[in-house]
Amino acid sequence: MKIITVTAAVIQKGKYYLLARRKAGNTPRSGQWEFPGGKLEPDESLQQCIKRELKEELCIDAEVGNKIIEKAHHYPDKSIKLIAFKIIHFEGEIHLSSHQEYDWVRPQAMNKYNISEADRFIVEYLQKKHPEE
């Protein structure tokens, strides 16, 4: 099975991080919460990918920082390599196109959300980084 490269944006505002909920539907991960992002396209760098995805999904212009963490995840229907990047700054007001809602969440409260399996390692990373918040 081919591994699909996917980027995820870790956007921080104070002690809160942005989570977005996929639209409800008949896809395997619909209705779940995730860090926004998407699939790498041919001839595109990882930074270009996350920047494009944030523009498409949230209508924001992002300044992409360093890679934070990456991990392969195997779903029954596909395998992905998820690469999370810190977003240093963004401009524009968030308008959702492929999500039904978003929320700013402290890492220790993220367990209350139905987080996509592949994104859970990012949650664990943030919770270890901010253990008492």
Q: Please tell me the predicted confidence (pLDDT) of residue 133.
A: 62
For 115, the 3-state DSSP assignment is strand
Question: pLDDT band at 88, cuts 50/70/90?
Answer: very high
pTM: 0.93
List b or e across 60-91, with b for residues whose CB sees 16 or more CB atoms inside 10 angstroms. Answer: bebebeeeebbeebeeeeeebebbbbebeebe
Domain enclosing residue 120, as ranges:
3-129
Residues 88 and 104 sit within 8 Å (Cβ to Cβ): no
pLDDT one-digit tens code per residue, 95-117: 999 899 999 999 999 999 999 99
Split into its structural domains, the chain has a count of 1
Q: Are 104 and 11 in contact (CB under 8 A)?
A: no
Q: What is the CATH number of the domain that holds 55?
A: 3.90.79.10
pLDDT at 98: 86
